[in-house]
Amino acid sequence: MFSFSYSVTREYPYRWFTPTAIVGSIVLTILFSAINFFSNAYNMVTITTDDPHAVEANRWSGRVPGIFTSKIQPKCQDAIISVGSTVTTNQTALSYQVIADSAERQAALAYHNQPFGNTSCSLVQVSVQFDTVNGRHDLARNWSGWGVSVSATLSCSYLGMVHSVMVLSAQYDPITAADAINYGVNRFIQVNTATPMFVWAETLLMGFWAETVTAITHETAQLDSTDSTLPRFNLSSGVVYFSGAAMPSDTGADIKTLSYFSGGQYAFFDKDSSSYSGEFNTGSNRSLETLISDAVWPNVWAPADRLAKAMSSTVIADFGQASDMAIINDAVIRLDRSMITTSDRLHYWTENLTQIWNASTVKHKDRLLVRPMNSQNPATGQYQLQMAQYNGTDTDTSNLTNSIIAATYTCQVPRLKSGFNIFISILVADLVLLRVVWTLYNYVVCYFLKDRHPDSNLCVGCAEHYQDGDAETGELGIVDTGEDTDCHGQDIEMGDIGRDLEEQTDQQSLQKLLTREPVGS
């Protein structure tokens, strides 16, 4: 038999219910607004920068719980440096090619603006290459019959997510670069007047490069030729390798001595590719010192040694290795492994620059001294290198900063939305959360109310009738509705109320029907 059921609405018997709801809604509105502000008030936008640490430094302070700000903190991705790519440092001196590390064998390296400390990099090898025709274009050959370039390989370590090693190679050849549009390839990127040390580094490199070109030209000139710039036919190319440069922890480092490089190899080739080669090692019968003292042909050893030392001094300074202080066995040791880190050293190594430059056999050599001050637009400014002795008294490393690889980083940074969008976003989110809390609040109260007050879901009249225990009404039927209020309330079936009265009415109706007179009687 079908019956109707009705939900019962009555006041809660707890007087604290309404004040708690009001105070709680205020507190929760404030809390939800704060949470929704950090969740909805910002958009994460993509930017590029060359200083990710500056971007990531604008993080939310620790006074704001991390659970609120974890998704809106600025963050930059690592720069991926591929093997074979060309990189520079923030010192804007030389450019470097990333070469494969035989131990790591990685195709690319992840880098995140890590600075290179005083002991982060070590020089692997310096080589001085000689060439006449092979690999040289006509313009370079017009400047000099012999071409000379110097290369340096160094290994730098840095700590990121994992310990990584980056092997780089740089080359210097001012004649090749003089005919190139892109400065920084085989030559300094620009004259960094903010750090005079690098101005003198380029000056020394160019001076000793010119000295080496002059030396190989004189050593190979044809004896019967009136033109001393013509190369002898029996030599067409060559190379001298210098290895075992003093490490930062080497207490015996002294760049003024001929034993600064522990050893090396050399090889020269004639036009038929026949080689004339050998090696030299400090302390052996054939050292660099004996090659120089015995004037072993081709006698280019001393100029090549100075050129290699100038290149070594430049690259280690370009990677922030300017300090000559090392801590060995808890003792501070001063090293002498650079030509350019103090005024005394610059004064010593530039003493003969004027004579070296004047004796050079390179044509148009004075054009090489004019250098751009801005690599992006060379026409905006020029600088004239001075082939003269340094006479300053200041320490040129005072303006040298920590070196980093110049790279572009992609970053995600928070950007505040408009005020109207923030208001709407927070309002909608607050209403949803408050509705959920209100439903849960009612459910919890109803749950405990049902256990402590079983008759609380009856209407007032029904409750009184139930309490009087009227036997005529019979036992009240109870059903569970759980509608609207989320309370599993108890509703009264109307068929159980006044059952006797209903039966009495039915009997009276039946009696009237039976005693009714027929129609027409």
Domain boundaries, the chain: 82-402
Mean pLDDT is lowest, of 115-124, 389-398, 449-458, for 389-398
Between CA 46 and CA 44 the distance in angstroms is: 7
- Specify the pLDDT at position 482: 47
462, 477 contact by CB (below 8 A): no
Q: What are residue 310's DSSP bridge partners?
A: none
Tokens of 122: 């070590």
- Residue 383 confidence (pLDDT) above 80: no
CA-based radius of gyration for the chain: 45
| 463: confidence class by pLDDT, cuts 50, 70, 90 | low
**The two three-digit tokens of residue 520, written as one number:** 């027409």
pTM of the model: 0.72
Per the prediction, the chain carries an average pLDDT of 77
Looking at mean pLDDT, say which of 114-128, 144-158, 226-240 comes out highest.
144-158
pLDDT for 462 equals 67
Q: Give 214's pLDDT tier (boundaries 50, 70, 90).
A: very high
Least confident of 252-256, 440-444, 457-461: 457-461
Asked whether the CA dihedral 11, 16, 17, 23 is positive or negative, the reply is positive
Under 8 Å between Cβ of 125 and 154:
no
- Kind plus residue range of the DSSP H or E element containing 502: helix 499-514
- What confidence tier does 331 reach under pLDDT thresholds 50, 70, 90? low
Q: Which H or E run contains 472?
A: none
Whether the per-residue pLDDT at 445 is higher than 70: the answer is yes
What is the spatial order of strands in the sheet that 275-281 belongs to?
86-88, 95-99, 163-172, 147-159, 121-131, 237-245, 261-269, 275-281
The percentage of residues in the chain with a pLDDT greater than 90, rounded to a whole number, is 26
* CA 361 – CA 146 distance, rounded (Å): 10
CB neighbours (10 Å) of residue 511?
10
DSSP 107: S
Residue 79: enclosing H or E segment and its boundaries?
strand 79-82
How many CB atoms sit inside 10 A of residue 5's CB? Answer: 17
The pLDDT score that the predictor gives to residue 514 is: 47
- Give, for 424, the enclosing helix (H) or strand (E): helix 419-452
The model's confidence at residue 520, banded by pLDDT at 50, 70 and 90, is very low
Mapped onto helix, strand or coil, the DSSP state of residue 388 is: coil
Distances (CA, A) of 173 to 72, 148, 299: 49, 7, 21
> Residue 372: is the preceding peptide bond cis (ω within 30°)?
no
Interval 241-258: pLDDT, tens: 998 765 544 555 688 888
In 3D space, the residue among 191, 205, 192, 196 whose CA is nearest the CA of residue 393 turns out to be 196
